[in-house]
Amino acid sequence: MLFGKPLIAVNHIEGHIAANFITHKELEPPFMCLIISGGHTYLVNVKDYNECEILGKTRDDAIGEAFDKVARVVRTSDILVDQK
């Protein structure tokens, strides 16, 4: 318990998949899911609502991390260009 509330364990990667069911009500398994999130990149075969198979994942720098790094550089260069 924390602050009088029970803690519920949630798998971070499964949470990304589940969020799609909220946003896209028509989405039904089976489908393939590419998860690109900060330090994680996964290719997942979603077989059913509670059954997933990880087909591949990154071992080092993830796509999301690389995207974040590029975004910081582009934003910085945009700011510098605007100031000239």
pLDDT for 32-83, tens place per residue?
999 887 777 889 999 999 999 999 988 776 777 777 777 788 776 555 454 4
CA distance 29 to 48: 5
Residue 16 has pLDDT above 80, yes or no: yes
Confidence (pLDDT) at 37: 75
Confidence (pLDDT) at 79: 52
Residue 17 has pLDDT above 60, yes or no: yes
> Mean of the pLDDT values across residues 4-23?
89
The answer, as to whether pTM is greater than 0.85, is no
> Mean of the pLDDT values across residues 6-27?
90
Beta carbons of 33 and 15 less than 8 angstroms apart: no
How far apart, in Å, do the first and last CA atoms of the chain sit? 54
